[in-house]
A = this chain, B = another copy of it.
Amino acid sequence: MGIAKGIRLRMGKTSKVYLVIMAGGGGTRFWPWSREKRPKQILPILSDRPMIWETVERVRPFAPAEKIFIVTASFQAKELHRQVPQIPPGNILMEPQGKNTAPCLCLAALHIQQRNSEAIMAVLPADHFIPDRKLFLQTLKGAAEFAAKQNFLVTLGIQPTEPETGYGYIQKGEILGQAAGLQVFRAKAFREKPSRARALHYLHRGDYLWNSGMFVWKVGVFLEALERFLPSLYREMLRFKASLGTPRANLVLKNIYERIQPVSVDYGIMEKAPNVALMQVKFLWNDVGSWAALTQIWPKDEAGNVLPGGKQVTRGKVLVIDSSGCLVRAEEKLIAIIGLKDMIVVESGNAFLVCPKERSQDVRRVLQELNDKGWKEYL
């Protein structure tokens, strides 16, 4: 497709690289635009195409469609397939329920191992903003080469530019080498989303990178780590492996997912494994994790207001009086604001959200309350 024009990565048809795109996220962060059945990854947030489509096209020069897997929730699979018809239906892997990233990636690894036991597996979230595709692909290629040569679990880290409290952080250890002109360190420590004070501390120390949630490893190295650090999950999933390709596979997986505990790959494996490498990447990146993040991505007017136009145009209208630093998205109605500063005002479907930009992470509390109240029609 047009996106990849001019990018030549020479991975070749015999490449061992397989991509896994994790698209299991619920529709919480961009509520009310995103909903349970309309998760962020299928929204046209960054262009007039769904984010998942952007993500797939971004990596197409790196791997042919048949080597791209997408893991998603069963109930989202049909809609997802509609959004990325270029991916073979058999490559859309369905989780019976969300159990965080470790089971998700185990499922993907077993599928990939079946195709090629020597495979390099690159893991990407479905919904990130990475405008420099060429640099991104060069980086990914470097990481794949590094992973191919050594038995490391490679994770991509981003140089922090501000004391962001919405990201995890990884501390750099000793240098392990170079790949694609980038330094690769041993990962010394993984830190969950920090307080603001702690985030400032990480930023000033300079030896912490943001955890991008992107990983590259040999499928065998990853499964070994799983066996070692999450043995019960691994044992359960071996039953699924045995069923793969049989009519029982879905039922076996459903049964397993009812029993296993949710666990993230960061907490379950990366924080514990000794062979974790941290590649310090240079491309601009944003996890598009909240409405506030869009105020950094979508264009602003002179007053610093983000009033989606262009590809985001809807039937809705916006009228702004004496306001600055706001993001206002009207889908159907007119939204008039007077005297607002740094506010998020969003209309979508049957709901409206108003909150200060700095509170946009708390949208999840709205979802919790809606759940508690049983107001399902707004979820």
- A residues with a Cβ closer than 8 A to B are 32, 317, 319, 321-322, 330, 332-340, 343, 345, 347, 350-356, 358-359, 362-363, 365-366, 369-370, 373, 375, 378
What chain B residues lie within 8 Å of A330 (beta carbons)? 352
Evaluate whether A321 and B356 lie within 8 angstroms (CB atoms) in the complex, with A334-B351, A334-B375, A336-B351 already known. no
* Chain A to chain B contacts (Cβ below 8 Å), 24 pairs: A32-B334, A32-B336, A319-B370, A319-B375, A321-B362, A321-B369, A333-B347, A334-B351, A334-B352, A334-B375, A335-B351, A335-B352, A336-B351, A336-B353, A336-B354, A336-B366, A337-B353, A337-B354, A338-B353, A338-B356, A339-B362, A340-B354, A340-B356, A352-B352
What chain B residues lie within 8 Å of A322 (beta carbons)? 359, 362
Residue pair A351, B370 in contact (C-beta under 8 Å): no
Residue pair B354, A343 in contact (C-beta under 8 Å): yes
User: Could you list 9 further interchain pairs (A-B, Cβ under 8 angstroms) beyond the known A319-B370, A333-B352, A334-B375?
Assistant: A334-B352, A336-B351, A336-B354, A336-B355, A338-B353, A339-B358, A340-B354, A340-B355, A354-B354
Bound Cα distance A190, B134 (Å): 72
Bound Cα distance A355, B340 (Å): 6
Residue pair A354, B335 in contact (C-beta under 8 Å): yes
Bound Cα distance A274, B74 (Å): 83
Residue pair B366, A350 in contact (C-beta under 8 Å): no
Q: Which of A332, A335, A352, A362 has the most CB of B within 10 A?
A: A352
Bound Cα distance A322, B340 (Å): 18
Bound Cα distance A379, B339 (Å): 20
Residue pair B338, A355 in contact (C-beta under 8 Å): yes
From B336, B351, B363, give the contact of A338 (CB < 8 A).
Answer: B363
Bound Cα distance A359, B375 (Å): 32
Bound Cα distance A354, B340 (Å): 8
Bound Cα distance A160, B356 (Å): 35
Nearest to A321 among chain B residues (CB) is B365
Bound Cα distance A339, B343 (Å): 10
Bound Cα distance A353, B317 (Å): 12
What chain B residues lie within 8 Å of A375 (beta carbons)? 317, 319, 334
From B317, B333, B340, B378, give the contact of A334 (CB < 8 A).
Answer: B378
Shortest A31–chain B CB gap in Å is 8
Residue pair A338, B359 in contact (C-beta under 8 Å): yes
Residue pair B352, A339 in contact (C-beta under 8 Å): no
Bound Cα distance A340, B355 (Å): 6
Residue pair B334, A350 in contact (C-beta under 8 Å): yes
Evaluate whether A354 and B365 lie within 8 angstroms (CB atoms) in the complex, with A338-B359, A378-B334 already known. no
Residue pair B362, A338 in contact (C-beta under 8 Å): yes
